[in-house]
With several copies, the nearest count.
Chain A
Amino acid sequence: MSRSTVTGGDAMYVGIFFAGFGGQGIILAGRMVCLAAMGEGKHVSHIPSYGAEMRGGTANCSVVVSDEEIGSPLVPRPDVCVVMNTPSLLKFQPIVKPGGLLIWNESLIHSAPERTDIEILAVRANDIAEAAGSYRSANMVMLGALIKRRPSVASMNAVLAVLNEAVSARHRELNQVNRKALAGGYEAA
């Protein structure tokens, strides 16, 4: 029925892993990356982790942004890993691809990552968010930092453009703060 060919050019591919606890807006951050990248014509996929921990408040998700059709939506070895709390850092530090990027939330994590074969970026996400107006925007701070360091994923304009679509009506009054937080993260990176 359908016939196509794959050539194997040198396409852009970024696998991103977000991790934290429930309520930190992990899933939303992942979706916003997708929406923004979509807006810029990229292929994207997003998949929440719903693995071993059913309860207990952990929340993770995997995002892929690519120029090409996406194979597996899973990201066992992420190019970029964003961790928002201590257990996430401990658990996911090891899986970052050598040469990859680890962004960690210095506000909540007290001991720094130890790997030396990856790029490491500390962001005081909660503090910056608090300064922007609410600690609840810490996820946006991390997102701002991410797109600064990996501009191929999505531009700040693209991210700002999807803010209203991504955030549910109930929380949209926070978007003023979210914008500031995004900018704060962008600057901090």
Chain B
Amino acid sequence: MPVDTVQEKVVYERPRSLADVPNHYCPGCGHGIIHKLLAQCIDELGIQESTILVAPVGCSVLAYNYLRVDGCEAAHGRAPAVATGLKRVHPDTTVISYQGDGDLLAIGTAETIHAANRGEKITVIFVNNAIYGMTGGQMAPTSLQAQKTKTSPYGRNPADVGFPIRACELLNTLQAPVFIERCAVSSVKTILKAKRAIMKGLRNQVEGKGYSFIEILSMCPTGWGMEPREAVSWMEAEMVPVFPLGNLRDR
């Protein structure tokens, strides 16, 4: 009778596309999780050598240092335009526009909407942390009602500056996009869902389909002035009701 042998199997480790360097994000920052997901998807699709990452101006400005693919910095808000230029020259690459909420929904509103409306064959990863992380915590277009930030010190007042903008719903009024989904990275469950959405968004490019948009609710403990786990709870309790998770379009 043969004896059972117990072998060790590594079931979770650094994806090849994720550089083996410490990142500069604050403890508990969602960007780190999202980078990891992106790297996993790139690996699984085997597109490390045909991917171009457009990093925004925002906390993820150095994303190209962490994802081991060709990387391009874009001016604040202009990542979709830069991605358009890249993709139109190299239609066979997978071009990812990685952007924060200030970048994508404030200064970059026009570029966001028009790249989506043209149906540029790119994948947009929209990291919605309801704040301007990099510049020290100012109000974002997605900041919640009554949320206190450096530039809404008395809380965001909708009567004065309106309500948080819902990017997915906005883009869902356009005809060209093929995929629109809102995810989160607050728990293992939501993270795994987010990964599936990212996979789909990237695969759409590999298959030559069209514009994919993945919004990911992400913790910014520093900008919110919270401990990381407090931030997770706040996101689930406050953000998710305003930005409901789910798929809005999958063609």
Contact = CB atoms under 8 A, between A and B. Distances in A.
A54 B222 CA distance: 12
A51 interface: no
B242 interface: no
A56 B25 CA distance: 6
Interface in B18-33: 24-27, 29
Contacts of B24: 53-56
Interface residues of A, number: 5
A61 to B, nearest CB: 16
What does DSSP make chain B's interface, helix, strand, loop or mixed?
loop
Nearest to A57: B26
A55 B133 CA distance: 9
Interface string A35-60: 00000000000000000011111000
Contacts of B26: 55-57
Contacts of A53: 24
B59 interface: yes
A54 B26 CA distance: 10
B134 to A, nearest CB: 6
A56 B26 CA distance: 5
Nearest to B25: A55
Interface string B128-145: 000001100000000000
Interface string B26-53: 1101000000000000000000000000
Interface in B143-171: none
9 contacts: A53-B24, A54-B59, A55-B26, A55-B59, A55-B133, A55-B134, A56-B24, A56-B26, A57-B26
Interface of A: 53-57
The 4 A-B residue pairs with the shortest CB-CB distance in the complex, in nearest-first order: A55-B24, A55-B26, A56-B24, A55-B25
